[in-house]
């Protein structure tokens, strides 16, 4: 395919035409199966995390998400529980058997976060934090790299290249909405990024319809659309009591809503010849 | 639903909670069925139009598209066949039984275009051409209104309100990609507009994945995603020989590609409990 | 200069290296002098227009602006006085000796508007209304063409080319703010468009800091910046009682504010070796 | 002034109505005087840095810029000289008497960079790198904070608030262009950010016309416009041989061009009642 930029060599599909599979605790991301990641925006306390984790696990989420270090626009917002949050994630994941993904914001946190979790998330605001990308590349943990909210596809692939260039090929790309002039949604979910990234790169591609829309009622529509567009997985925010969430409650599904959505996603996956793992 | 703007009264779903159905030549847009509109970007000549129309009809496109008056960025590009193109559209549609949609760019063209076609298209560049909206509102023909490439959801609904305010409620809203910083696709197809518009308004909502992506190979992925997101129909460019098209060849499907896609769309429609008409 | 697009031939500076001067009632736009256009957003009534016109004339505005046909986002907003507004513009301009610029939105209005005014304005929403551009090109009146709020420099020049291609070289380009993600201002005034357009084209370039910012208190800063950036003129909204304006009051200067600004602009013009006419 | 967001308390102008003055080596940023910062994009070697520094100092740049740690989109581009670059900056600044500003990208670099330089720059890509902002806040060095290319004014002020919240009030805000749909310039320099930030906050505001435009020939126009808009200073890239620069050569002024520009800037400053320090 012709593009208006050069696709960097290590992320380039031509170097691995069959695609990369990132395996985490026995779950394969990037193969025929579709992987669902779910959990709360932030780990708030034991009860909230455990109840939410158990429920999303029961509905079929293979991987648990939950933030311990939170990048918040305002210094006066809840900044996360830090190591205490990591410990809670570890504890519940040992019970449910799920893998855990959580965000790392600082090169100094990588060792600590790596101890407790299975996948390092690098968030949108840090997509071009090159020292962090390099350290994640050295860590050998799988990395879930979110597209910056104003990053081009080219820049997104170059950011991933920083990680691969350090020898770590276990990178999952995540489209999570870009910033545009439209304000009725929190971001504009760019689903065309899914086929584009799959075409240009061998890395698995997932979608975050929670941040992509910012609206709970819209998450199911866009989750279905993401699967239909060819995504290898989804990452979604679920909270056992969204109205009381310390962050992103307005875009978090309740456990019941998540359960219903999972059933719908299985139908869409089947319609395109895939299945939800 | 709470929005950050006031939804105008006549397009507002609350005024017609069951939704509006726009019927054209026996085909219902906005009901449970999903309607596919296909055809060339521009009517180029009899052979090109007729061959393309017959083939998309055979594959299941209920409505034929084709431009006779073309809004081109450069004055030196092909500007369309004008009335000659309208006559060809009329002729082939009488053979295939399809309804016809074609663009109208000028208040002075409305009577002429109305004579030959079933649906008046108002294109992206004219979404805020208020005299044209008013005249389309007076014409009583169904109107396919495309979202401006720079238009917010609020402005899009206000533009439709101009038409309804003249007494014409037969308006079909079309998401066709918005302009963002991303340049690897021609536009950024904003599929979140589909659930948003369906939520806020009673009007049928369709998607144009051809202009939305500008890339032939990407049209099928986004067409499927649009149906999964809840669109009531699709409008797609098909050309019997895309490499030789006078406009938009790089985003036009061949008849064969279109036929294969139709089969895939039927599966997605079925997975969400709908069907392609 | 190298650009990432081809500058169309007729607007191209290489065809008129010394630049085009558009003369209106003895005032030259595009020469060494800088021309100030001012007046109300819309003509509301005789008293409002006449008081405002007299005051901006006294402060040095050579050209009077005022809308008779108003493109409003909502059909329920004030749509302008139409021909009655044109007559008032004509009447007061005969008293003050100013030239008049007013917007034309429809091909059917061009003859009428041409009768009463000196410059036809084509607004942002109609920058790609090609039938309108062509008719304006045939009319031989000077045309003030505003950049679309999401138009690239390339598209802006191509729109102007439509007018020149009909034989009318009296076109004034106007930067009026583009749409971006930023919401603290109404638009983002792209002052880099001024040197860019001057470099690529021979046409005069002016700036509209009123629409560009949407904020009365910010107009003076950006007006000064526009002159410093090399603009050949400014178009600004002034209302004799901004709080009571029927449209755009929040971005309209009072006559006193306008008078003070004119004095400041003269200093900036002098600092770059030009003068306010 | 009414805004569509809450201005955070510590950066809020109401807490310091007279404005903050950041003093560096006897130069006051944020007072009546305007401060010019200039130097190469990256420190490449002794000869390049020293020749450039001496020339910009002679032309009146009070502060020297130069990158030792470079955030580059591609891992295969020149990444900076690191500590060797810092040493060269220190050495030449002791000769010229200039203060030095250089970028810090990683929390682990802050102590090292603080040793050698006078102002810590936090670049656009790190504007929402909260651990870095917090460490910069603890360091007590003046901080030059660049607006993220995707950051709203609200987010920009919240990022600064992170620094002030740690007790460090010596923050200089820098507008450096935002990302929009326009591609003829590298970024779109948002000069309206200058009056907006000055109105809302007590912090000094400077402008980077080099990154803002990406085009050497356009830097002078936008530098003049920035001063006219009320900026307290400018930061510009100058290279003793732009064609051979390892980064950003196409937007770097030659020493001669810089010298001519300084003379022009003095005239503009004088026209608005200020002076270049």
Q: What is the CATH number of the domain that holds D250?
A: 3.20.20.70
pLDDT tens track for B20-71: 999 999 999 999 999 999 999 999 999 999 999 999 999 999 999 999 999 9
Task: Quote the CA–CA distance of D44 and D47 in Å, as a whole number.
Answer: 8
Please determine, for the modelled complex, whether the ipTM score is greater than 0.90: yes
Residue D3: pLDDT over 90: no
Q: How many helices (H) and strands (E) does chain B have?
A: 9, 11
Buried residues in C92-128 as b, exposed as e (16+ CB within 10 A): bbeebebbbbbbbbbbebbebbbebbbbbbbbbbbbb
Task: Quote the CA–CA distance of A41 and A25 in Å, as a whole number.
Answer: 22
Nearest residue in chain B measured CA to CA from D178: B181
Among C75, C125, C150, beta carbon nearest to B179 = C150
Say what the pLDDT of residue C231 is.
98
Residue D206: closest CA among D26, D34, D32: D34
The answer to whether residue D83 neighbours chain C at the CB level (below 8 Å) is no
Query: β-strands B205-207, A33-39: how paired?
Result: unpaired
Please answer yes or no on whether B149 and C149 come within 8 Å at the CB atom: no
Q: What is the average pLDDT across C254-274? A: 98
Tell me if A243 sits within 8 A of A249, measured CB to CB: yes
The mean of the pLDDT values for chain B is 96
Say what the pLDDT of residue B71 is.
92
CB atoms near residue A2 (< 10 Å): 5
Lowest mean pLDDT among A147-161, C165-179, D219-233, D239-253: D239-253
Tell me if B128 sits within 8 A of B150, measured CB to CB: no
Say what the pLDDT of residue D140 is.
86
Which chain A residues have a beta carbon less than 8 Å from that of D75? 8, 130, 158, 161-162, 165
Say what the pLDDT of residue C248 is.
87
Distance from CA of C30 to the nearest CA of D (A): 17
The answer to whether residue A267 neighbours chain C at the CB level (below 8 Å) is no
Say what the pLDDT of residue A3 is.
79
Which chain C residues have a beta carbon less than 8 Å from that of B105? 129-131
Q: Please, which pLDDT band fits residue C3 given cuts at 50, 70 and 90?
A: confident
Buried residues in C189-219 as b, exposed as e (16+ CB within 10 A): bbbbbbbbbbbbbbbbbbbbbbbbbbbbebb
Tell me if B100 sits within 8 A of B119, measured CB to CB: yes
Please answer yes or no on whether A182 and B153 come within 8 Å at the CB atom: yes
Is B4 within a domain? no
The answer to whether residue A185 neighbours chain B at the CB level (below 8 Å) is yes
Say what the pLDDT of residue C1 is.
63
Buried residues in B114-138 as b, exposed as e (16+ CB within 10 A): bebbbbbbbbbbbbbbbbbbbbbbe
Tell me if A74 sits within 8 A of D161, measured CB to CB: yes
Which chain C residues have a beta carbon less than 8 Å from that of B158? 73-75
Among C71, C107, C165, beta carbon nearest to B106 = C107
Residue C221: closest CA among D30, D200, D205, D226: D226
Chains that touch A (3 or more CB pairs under 8 A): B, C, D
What phi and psi, each to the nearest 5 degrees, are found at residue D263? -65, -40
Q: What is the average pLDDT across B78-89? A: 96
Residue B170: closest CA among B16, B67, B61, B37: B16
Is B1 within a domain? no
Helix A153-164 and helix A130-139, axial crossing angle in degrees, nearest 10:
40
Is B236 within a domain? yes
Q: Please, which pLDDT band fits residue C159 given cuts at 50, 70 and 90?
A: very high
- What is the rounded end-to-end Cα distance, in angstroms, of chain A? 30
The mean of the pLDDT values for chain C is 96
pLDDT tens track for C126-141: 999 999 999 999 998 9
Q: How many helices (H) and strands (E) does chain A have?
A: 9, 11
Is B3 within a domain? no
CA A243 to chain centre: 23
Please answer yes or no on whether C190 and D184 come within 8 Å at the CB atom: no
CA C20 to chain centre: 17
Say what the pLDDT of residue D4 is.
81
Dihedral sign, CA of A36, A39, A42, A46? negative
CB atoms near residue A138 (< 10 Å): 12
Is A1 within a domain? no
Query: How many domains does chain C divide into?
Result: 1
pLDDT in tens, chain A (277 residues): 677 899 999 999 999 999 999 999 999 999 999 999 999 999 999 999 999 999 999 999 999 999 999 999 999 999 999 999 999 999 999 999 999 999 999 999 999 999 999 999 999 999 999 999 999 999 989 999 999 999 999 999 999 999 999 999 999 999 999 999 999 999 999 999 999 999 999 999 999 999 999 999 999 999 999 999 999 999 999 999 999 999 888 999 999 999 999 999 999 999 999 999 9
Total CB pairs under 8 A between chain B and D: 6
Disruptive mutation site among B181, B183, B188 for chain D (greatest number of D CBs within 10 Å)? B181
Among B71, B76, B107, beta carbon nearest to C128 = B71
Is A8 within a domain? no
CB atoms near residue C167 (< 10 Å): 10
Is D36 within a domain? yes
pLDDT tens track for B153-188: 999 999 999 999 999 999 999 999 999 999 999 999
H-only helix segments in chain C: 46-59, 83-96, 110-116, 130-139, 153-164, 193-200, 209-213, 219-229, 255-271
Please answer yes or no on whether D150 and A155 come within 8 Å at the CB atom: no
The answer to whether residue B230 neighbours chain A at the CB level (below 8 Å) is yes
Distance from CA of D179 to the nearest CA of B (A): 7
Which chain B residues have a beta carbon less than 8 Å from that of C161? 74-75
Tokens linked to A107: 């090169």
Residue B262: pLDDT over 80: yes
The mean of the pLDDT values for chain D is 96
Q: Please, which pLDDT band fits residue B1 given cuts at 50, 70 and 90?
A: low
Distance from CA of D148 to the nearest CA of A (A): 10
Q: What is the average pLDDT across B132-150? A: 96
Residue C4: pLDDT over 90: no
Which chain D residues have a beta carbon less than 8 Å from that of C182? 152-153, 178, 190
Is A80 within a domain? yes
Among D4, D182, D192, beta carbon nearest to C222 = D192
Share of chain C above pLDDT 70, in %: 99
Q: What is the average pLDDT across D254-268? A: 98
Say what the pLDDT of residue D1 is.
63
Say what the pLDDT of residue B140 is.
87
Task: Quote the CA–CA distance of B101 and B236 in Å, as a whole number.
Answer: 12
Q: Which domain holds residue B105?
A: 13-276
Say what the pLDDT of residue C140 is.
86
Chains that touch D (3 or more CB pairs under 8 A): A, B, C
Say what the pLDDT of residue A1 is.
63
């Amino acid at each position: 395919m012709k593009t208006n930029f050069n696709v960097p060599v290590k992320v380039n599909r031509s170097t691995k035409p069959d695609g990369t599979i990132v395996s985490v605790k026995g779950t394969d991301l990037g193969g025929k199966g579709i992987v669902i990641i779910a959990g709360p925006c932030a780990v708030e306390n034991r009860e909230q995390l455990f109840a939410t984790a158990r429920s999303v696990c029961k509905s079929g989420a293979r991987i648990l998400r939950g933030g311990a270090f939170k990048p918040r626009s305002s210094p006066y917002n809840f900044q996360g529980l830090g190591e205490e949050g990591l410990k809670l994630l570890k504890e519940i994941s040992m019970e449910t058997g799920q893998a855990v993904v959580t965000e790392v914001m600082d090169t100094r946190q990588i060792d600590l976060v790596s101890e407790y979790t299975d996948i390092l998330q690098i968030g949108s605001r840090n997509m071009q934090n090159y020292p962090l990308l390099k350290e994640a590349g050295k860590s050998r943990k799988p990395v879930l790299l979110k597209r910056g909210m104003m990053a081009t596809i080219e820049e997104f692939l170059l950011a991933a290249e920083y990680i691969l260039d350090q020898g770590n090929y276990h990178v999952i790309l995540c489209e999570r909405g870009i910033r545009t002039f439209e304000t009725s949604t929190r971001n504009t979910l760019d689903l065309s990024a899914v086929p584009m990234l799959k075409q240009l790169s061998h890395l698995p591609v997932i979608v975050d319809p929670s941040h992509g829309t910012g609206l709970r009622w819209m998450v199911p529509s866009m989750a279905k659309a993401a699967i239909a567009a060819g995504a290898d997985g989804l990452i979604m925010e679920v909270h056992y009591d969204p109205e009381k969430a310390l962050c992103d409650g307005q875009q978090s599904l309740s456990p019941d809503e998540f359960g219903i959505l999972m059933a719908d996603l299985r139908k869409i996956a089947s319609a395109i010849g895939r299945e939800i793992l």
